[in-house]
Amino acid sequence: MNQLLENTLTIDGQVVPFSAGQTIMDAALAAGIYIPHLCHKPELKPHGSCKLCTVDVDGRSMSACTFPASQGMQVANNTPALTEVRKTLVQMLFVEGNHLCPTCDKTGDCTLQALGYHLGMLDGHFPPFYPRREVDASHPDLILDRDRCIMCGLCVRASQQIDGKNVFALSGRGAQNHVIVNSPSGKLGDSDLNKDDLAAHICPVGAILPKNHGHEVPIGRRTFDLHTVAESDIATFNLHKTEHHDD
């Protein structure tokens, strides 16, 4: 058997090639197959924390973003049961923070919200926690609103792995888990975060937001008002599309 045939797995029955060292997520994204994910970006090392990418691998639940692809593996991704599990995860993320979308400038551009749409989430199901978390508005160009942080660690990894800085870290366990800032005062304004850093842009939710750019794009014309999360994450859509994906 040649090398190409050896390096294939199936996702929902579709044969997908992969190369050595790739995860299931890498192989899926390369093949244009969308596996829901929140804490994963291809240019950063996987974190495996949100579990949105949970797939069924030969009968066991695995995180697609961390699990290595291997020959002959049978992966189930788009199943009603996995959609239910993923929806429950998104509901838990909503109630654990303060996600009042009408008050949030990330609305329409938010991956958590878009996943709620994708998975058909209508309500939070669980009683909301309404936590009281610290807002840090000390930076001239950016705001850190921990109310909406989902502890995905993308800002932490972007700062370390791409920006060559070390601005953010996750601290505390369980319900105490929160983002901390590496600066003498613990404030963002005292850190060396710059508005052009990847860490300043990568937040999938409205926890790190630019100042002075609110409502530049009207609600209803934002990314996920026009595209599904699946379209945008496999980056195949035409950015100038103005019709809603279901129109």
Interacting residues toward ligand FES by CB under 6 A: 37-40, 48-53, 63, 65
Using DSSP, how many helices (H) and how many strands (E) does the chain show?
A: 7, 10
Between vectors from CA 120 to CA 119 and to CA 125, what angle results, nearest 5°? 100
Q: Residue 148 binds which entry of another protein, ligand FES, ligand SF4, none, with Cβ cut-offs from 5 to 8 Å by kind?
A: ligand SF4
Q: How far apart are CA 135 and CA 19, in angstroms?
A: 43
Of the pair 17, 117, the CB lying nearest another protein is at 117
Q: Residue 179 binds which entry of another protein, ligand SF4, ligand FES, none, with Cβ cut-offs from 5 to 8 Å by kind?
A: ligand SF4
Q: Are 36 and 80 in contact (CB under 8 A)?
A: no
23-82 residues in contact with ligand SF4 (CB under 6 A) are none
Is residue 88 a contact residue for another protein (CB under 8 A)?
A: no
Stretch of 10-18, 75-83, 100-108, 186-194 lying at the interface with ligand SF4 (CB under 6 A) = 100-108
Is residue 240 a contact residue for another protein (CB under 8 A)?
A: no
Min CB(76)–ligand FES separation in Å: 16
Buried b (16+ CB within 10 A) or exposed e, 61-94: ebbbbbbebeeebebbbeeeebeebbbebbbebb
Element (H, E) at 91: helix 80-96
Is residue 216 a contact residue for another protein (CB under 8 A)?
A: no
Min CB(175)–another protein separation in Å: 16
Residue of 24, 59, 21, 35 whose CA lies nearest to 119: 35
Of the pair 28, 200, the CB lying nearest ligand SF4 is at 200
Q: Are 227 and 233 in contact (CB under 8 A)?
A: no
Nearest 5°: phi and psi at 210? -75, 145
| Selected binder of ligand SF4 within 40, 47, 86, 99 (CB under 6 A) | 99
Min CB(8)–ligand SF4 separation in Å: 34
103-142 residues in contact with ligand SF4 (CB under 6 A) are 104, 106-107, 110, 112-113
Q: Are 100 and 211 in contact (CB under 8 A)?
A: no
**Residues within the interface to ligand SF4 (CB under 6 A):** 99-101, 104, 106-107, 110, 112-113, 148-155, 179, 202-203, 205-208
